[in-house]
């Protein structure tokens, strides 16, 4: 039966029509377009010539038709704009000025940058289930002996190496994306630095499928398309970086390491816009908001084909703003009481305690002990010394109070 329709689709409708036909056909595991007539409108199929009979031929037709290929560019419609983003971006600009001023006044900026980098590495790996404590992460980076699973140790070493490559990476180069993935997954997976050769699915703890990655045969083209969009779009870097972060997770181009590479790539894009972002603890704030992070990712997915990553961009702009506030507060405090403490010789445990308090002022002593793999009594002794030197204070009661860095 021929495909006839009096209704001609508008050019701006071609994207959704092609997306519906191709993705629905794949989801139903159908081979011929005629099998889709009971699932979608006839006019949706009639966009293809009658000689195009199979799903494979439909994909080939789209690839070889420049007009349709341009119209079906996924990057044109993968997020809707939120008018509130202007206000959030304005606040971030103001915070950038504060960060710049604080760094100019700080004599310990290199120490703080290294500390933030190590915390970033610990956070981005912990999000994926790495079991090393903060102290162990510091020890691994400082080439100390750590008794922990070799996989977790290698994962931290790799992440630290990958973040160290940021100044030399091009955020819009496919080769550099693969290079960074190789650094992140070296000695951990077989397809290190390679796009996956199998299908993948994101599942929750109960085994429920939350999202199917792109067809592995389409991954190279989808990634190239994403990076070309990033290179040519006039979208603001704060929005663009968040969108690219999401789309890397959505495409899921690698067998493993997609989360780490997505977070690294957002930091990379932002650092090319403003070098201060190379050191801001964005990943650390994501770690402390993991549940919301995954909720935003899930809310931005779509069962109908094209995602709308507006919820994820909303989330990331909040996270970036919060990370900058924390960084500014750390800098300003380091320019006061904490600088004297560091000059007076904070040991690594005390530095780690201060870092934990910076990130979570409500953290409890036993939680510090767990994260640093130290006895509670040892942590209490270090906190007493920090209090005596005026570096930290306890505000309120033991149960409901919080820590303050002076």
344 is in an annotated binding site: no
Given phi > 0 = left and psi -120 to 50 = alpha, else beta, which region is 393? beta
Dist CA 171 CA 245 (whole Å):
11
Confirm or deny that 81 is annotated as ligand binding. Answer: no
For residue 263, say whether it is annotated as part of any ligand binding site: yes
2 is in an annotated binding site: no
327 is in an annotated binding site: no
Residue 5 assigned to a binding site: no
Say if residue 389 carries a ligand binding annotation. Answer: no
Q: Is 257 annotated as a binding residue?
A: yes
Q: Binding site annotation covers 82?
A: no
Buried-exposed string 329-349: b where 16+ CB fall within 10 A, e elsewhere: ebbbbbbebbbebbeeebeeb
Catalytic choice (245, 250, 252, 382)? 252
Binding site annotation covers 256? yes
Is 258 annotated in a binding site? The answer is yes
Is 390 annotated to bind ligand? no
Residue with tokens 């308090």: 357
The verdict on whether 252 is a catalytic residue reads yes
260 in a known ligand binding site? yes
Alpha-carbon span 233 to 129, nearest angstrom:
34
**Rg of the chain (C-alpha set):** 25
Q: Residue positions in the annotated binding site?
A: 202-211, 256-263, 293-294, 303
The annotated binding site for ATP is made up of 202-211, 256-263, 293-294, 303
> Catalytic residue numbers?
252
């Amino acid at each position: 039966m021929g495909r006839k329709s009096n209704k001609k689709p508008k050019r701006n409708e071609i994207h959704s029509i092609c997306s519906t036909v191709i993705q629905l056909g794949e989801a139903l595991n159908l081979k011929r377009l005629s099998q889709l007539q009971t699932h979608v409108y006839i006019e949706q199929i009639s966009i293809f010539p009658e000689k195009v009979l199979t799903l494979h031929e439909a994909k080939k037709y789209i690839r070889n038709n420049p007009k349709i290929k341009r119209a079906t560019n996924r990057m044109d419609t993968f997020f809707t704009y939120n008018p509130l983003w202007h206000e959030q971006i304005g606040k971030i600009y103001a915070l950038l000025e504060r960060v710049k001023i604080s760094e100019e006044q700080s004599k310990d900026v290199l120490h703080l940058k290294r500390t933030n980098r190590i915390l970033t590495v610990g956070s981005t790996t912990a999000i994926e289930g790495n079991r090393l404590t903060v102290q162990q992460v510091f020890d691994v980076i400082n080439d100390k002996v750590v008794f922990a699973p070799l996989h977790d140790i290698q994962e931290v070493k790799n992440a630290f190496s990958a973040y160290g490559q940021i100044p030399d990476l091009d955020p819009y180069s496919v080769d550099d994306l693969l290079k960074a993935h190789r650094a992140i997954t070296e000695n951990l997976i077989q397809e290190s630095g390679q796009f996956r050769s199998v299908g993948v699915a994101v599942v929750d703890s109960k085994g429920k499928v939350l999202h199917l990655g792109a067809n592995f045969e389409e991954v190279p083209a989808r990634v190239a398309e994403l990076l070309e969009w990033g290179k040519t779009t006039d979208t603001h870097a704060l929005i663009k970086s968040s969108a690219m972060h999401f789309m890397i997770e959505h495409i899921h181009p690698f067998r493993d390491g997609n989360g780490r590479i997505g977070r690294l790539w957002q930091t990379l894009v932002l650092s090319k816009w403003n070098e201060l972002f190379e050191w801001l603890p964005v990943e650390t704030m994501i770690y402390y908001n993991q549940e919301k992070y995954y909720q935003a990712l899930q809310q931005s997915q779509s069962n109908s084909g094209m995602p709308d990553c507006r919820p994820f961009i909303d989330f990331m702009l909040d996270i970036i703003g919060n990370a900058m506030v924390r960084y500014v507060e750390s800098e300003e405090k380091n320019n006061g009481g904490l600088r004297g403490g560091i000059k007076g010789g904070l040991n690594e445990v005390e530095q780690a305690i201060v870092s934990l308090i910076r990130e979570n002022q409500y953290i409890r002593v036993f939680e510090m002990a767990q994260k640093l793999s130290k006895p509670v009594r040892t942590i209490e002794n270090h906190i007493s010394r920090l209090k005596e030197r005026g570096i930290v204070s306890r505000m309120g009661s033991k149960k409901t109070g919080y820590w303050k860095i002076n």
